[in-house]
A = this chain, B = another copy of it.
Amino acid sequence: MTRSEENYLKAIFHLGNGEAGSISTNAIAEQMETKPSSVTDMAKKLAEKGLVHYKKYQGISLTDAGTRTALSIIRKHRLWEVFLVKKLDFTWDEVHEVAEQLEHIKSEKLIDKIDALLDFPKYDPHGDPIPTKDGKFMERDKQLLSEMPIHAQGVCVGVKDSSAPFLKFLDKNKIALGNTIKILDKEDFDQSLQIQMEGRELRISHQIASNLYVKKND
């Protein structure tokens, strides 16, 4: 497996949101920041290797083998992110770029030892679930803050947008995963929210609320 092949499989997986379903050439090209013609070339190669299903003009989808490979890359990516935050004091906005490199290191022993060192974490610093060694996913029961009803209460458990600017914004406003959150008011005009978080009150735009995942209290 080349690094490029691994990145394609990961992109296809992410575009399918974990589900099966066919992904378009253009969507993959955009995600990979490459051209559609390059995607077609790679689709043929991956199909040849039994990692994707590909029929001309019909889109691309992962085979079981392709899904397994994608999950193993994602597992490595997220474990490395946890490692960087927990053991090396990286902030959650710094880890992605480095994990993009580390996820391609080939050593089963290495990643298993990292997993053990971190005490087998279930989620990465952005709240995304870490697949187990055998590719099992533990997706959390969560919803976007923007989709929760007024007066609902919950715990921040993840971000939808994990770009550095958004994460830094959250830091600046002391919004962190694990914080409890309660919707005090919803503004009809701009759909901004008045919320209570860890004692204090603050106002949050719709854009922010639609990128924050919350686990509702029972």
Query: Which A residues are closer than 8 A to B by beta carbons?
Result: 84, 87-90, 94, 97-98, 101-102, 105-107, 109-110, 113-114, 117
> Are B107 and A88 in contact, CB atoms less than 8 angstroms apart?
no
CA distance A113 to B94 in the complex (A): 13
The answer to whether A88 touches B106 (Cβ under 8 A) is no
Instruction: Specify how many copies of this chain sit in the oligomer.
Output: 2
Q: A94-B109, A109-B94 are in contact. Are A114 and B101 (CB under 8 A)?
A: no
**Minimal Cβ-Cβ distance residue in B for A101:** B105
When distances are taken between beta carbons in the complex, the residues of chain B under 8 Å from A106 are 101
Contact B98 A105 (CB under 8 A): yes
Distance in angstroms between the alpha carbons of A101 and B110 in the assembled complex? 12
CB pair A90–B109 under 8 Å, yes or no, is yes
* A89 partner residues in chain B, CB cutoff 8 A: 113
Chain B residues contacting A107 (CB-CB under 8 Å) are 97-98, 101
